[in-house]
Amino acid sequence: MTDTTSDTSTRRGHRRRDAVALAASCTAVAATATAAGALLHGPATPLLLCAAGLAATWPTVAGLRVRWSRRHDPAPPPSDTGAAAPVSAPGATAPAAETALWRMRTTVRDAPGSLAALCTALAAHRVDILSLQTHPLSAGTADEFLLRAPGTLTPQELTGAVSGAGGTHTWLERADAHDLVDAPARMLGLATRTALDSAELPLALRQLLGRCTIRSVPARPLHGRPAEPLPAEGVLEDHLMKFRDASGGSLIVERPQLPFTPTEFARVHALVELDRRLGQRVPPRREVLTLPEGNDLTIRRAGPDDLAAAVAMHRRCSPATLARRYHGPVGDADASLRHLLGPHHGRTLAVETASGRLVALGHLLWDGDETEVALLVEDAWQRRGIGADLLRRLVAMAGEAGCESVYAITQASHTGMVAAMRGLGLPLDYQIEEGTLVITTRPQGEPALRTTRPATASGESPGLG
């Protein structure tokens, strides 16, 4: 296990511009809404869902996914990323030349011959255009390419050729084989994920748009005045999109490195409207956790319907346990539950007894382009391995969802949480932020997650508050 210390990261700033009204999404939204309504009542659920996704995405030809990472801007990679083709020995069969996949977007004048000039310039450098789609703008056209280029062609040479052919505001990023998936097929898959589980919507939007920040704002914030209601068609700004969500709040999508296009806005609006029409939903997922003394508990997905049971569990928790979990006034704990149980904020696991009594909650929360894990175990059920098992399951779920890192906020004196994080068997990073301990791990790290319950020196599993 590797333990390192790093400085606190700073938040990115976002610039915003005047709102723009768009009617382009109406057709996609109407088609999706009609199919979604039928989905709730008709027997042919998969067929109707596919029809909904196809109707919503076909008029605009869904976009290619932008590959993203948590900490690096999508700037062109350094010039040494390309490798020269190996030299073959005399008489040997020449190996295939190395190539690289690139994702590129550039803006050209909306005039006859502009795209042809760009394609000619790419062909001169032996660049193969695998796919192309256009995004009409108020001034010019944004052309998005998936390219296969010689491995010896540097990013600077590629962008220079595009600039020489009239392309402006060029954005370039390395792609991989996943970007070769047919765009309508990808949209159908994203619509399916969204229809089955409300918590999948933020993940689906990230696959559609690439690296971006997605925030779910509740209709009734804990502090402050409620936000102004959003128009039904949503709001598009240069680097910002806002939509109503199924819970009555709003969904905010931001991408500082690349402006959103009207076509992207229409696609996102169709997915959000599908989610809103279907309502908040949590798929049934029940597993059995056997405690050391032999008692069986049920672990399942939790949602807004568990609010009353969660509040009742708060009443049975000590003030110290609630303070360790919520890092603030105990009086705010109940008010936080409505937000935490909302599926757009992440995924929640509940642990209940055979009688249906809720004794623990584990939250996996989408926090911008990061993911937070948080646990609450009722005092009477601590030190039985429940929290450690929940943590292992939540981190595994984060890995399945493609999350690159997961962090937990705790106190240095909370030895149970620290021990449980160590028990994952993953590399850990420790930071001190405003007097609290932040432990970060990578779900895809090595060694793999343990399948056995971690234990303390006394043989008991660490107790988690």
Predicted confidence band at 126 (pLDDT cuts at 50, 70, 90)? very high
441-to-358, 408, 445 alpha-carbon distances in Å = 28, 9, 8
pLDDT of residue 83: 40
Residues 309, 388: Cα–Cα separation, whole Å: 22
CB 420 within 8 A of CB 391: yes
Does position 447 have pLDDT exceeding 80, yes or no? no
Distance CA 3, CA 427 (A): 7
d(CA 255, CA 240): 7
Q: How far apart are the first and last CA of the chain?
A: 24
The DSSP-derived string for 109-134 is -SSTTHHHHHHHHHHHTT-EEEEEEE
d(CA 230, CA 227): 9
Name the pairing type of β-strands 370-377 and 141-150: unpaired
DSSP H helical segments within 85-241, as ranges?
A: 114-124, 155-164, 183-196, 200-209
CB 203 within 8 A of CB 97: no
Backbone angles phi, psi at 282, to 5 degrees: -130, 125
**Predicted pLDDT of residue 369:** 63
pLDDT digits (tens, 9 = 90+) for 44-67: 444 444 444 434 443 333 333 333
In this prediction, residues 290-299 reach a mean pLDDT of 88
**Residues 331-374 pLDDT 10s:** 777 878 887 888 777 889 999 999 999 999 999 988 766 789 99
Give me the mean pLDDT over the 112-129 stretch. 93
Give the distance, in angstroms, between the CA of residue 114 and the centroid of all CA atoms in the same chain. Answer: 36
Give whole-number Cα distances, 436 to 8, 102, 405, 431, 432, in Å. Answer: 12, 42, 19, 8, 6
Parts of the chain belonging to CATH 3.30.70.260: 98-174
Sheet of 406-410, strands arranged across: 3-5, 428-433, 436-441, 406-410, 370-377, 358-367, 346-352, 296-302, 286-290
The token pair that represents 20 in the structure block:
């723009």
Tokens coding 100: 């690289």
Instruction: Provide the pLDDT confidence category of residue 323 given band limits of 50, 70 and 90.
Output: confident
Closest CA to 255 of 14, 11, 1: 14
Say which residue, 296 or 249, is predicted with more confidence. Answer: 296
Q: What is the spatial distance between Cα 76 and Cα 152, in angstroms, rounded to a whole number?
A: 15
**How would DSSP label each residue in 241-260?**
EEEE-TTSSEEEEE-TTSPP
Tokens of 129: 């255009």
Tens of pLDDT, residues 381-433: 999 999 999 999 999 988 888 788 899 998 877 888 888 999 898 999 999 87
Geometric angle at alpha carbon 312, from 311 and 318, rounded to 5°: 90
Q: What beta strand segments (E) does 255-357 contain?
A: 286-290, 296-302, 346-352
- Look at the domain 98-174 and name its fold: Alpha-Beta Plaits (3.30.70)
> Is the CATH code 3.40.630.30 the one for domain 286-441?
yes
Distance CA(163)–CA(140), nearest Å, equals: 15
Predicted confidence (pLDDT) per residue in 153-212, tens digit? 999 999 999 999 999 989 888 887 777 777 788 888 889 888 888 888 888 888 888 778
Distance in angstroms (rounded) separating the CA atoms of residues 5 and 189: 39
Q: Residue 212's pLDDT is what?
A: 85
What is the spatial distance between Cα 53 and Cα 306, in angstroms, rounded to a whole number? 31
Q: How far apart are CA 422 and CA 46, in angstroms?
A: 42
Sheet architecture: strand order including 141-150: 128-136, 141-150, 99-108, 168-174
Q: What percentage of residues in the chain have a pLDDT greater than 70? A: 72
Q: For residue 429, how many other CB atoms are within 10 A of its CB?
A: 16
- What's the confidence (pLDDT) of residue 153? 93
Instruction: Write the CB contacts of 44 (distance below 8 Å, at least 6 apart in sequence).
Output: none
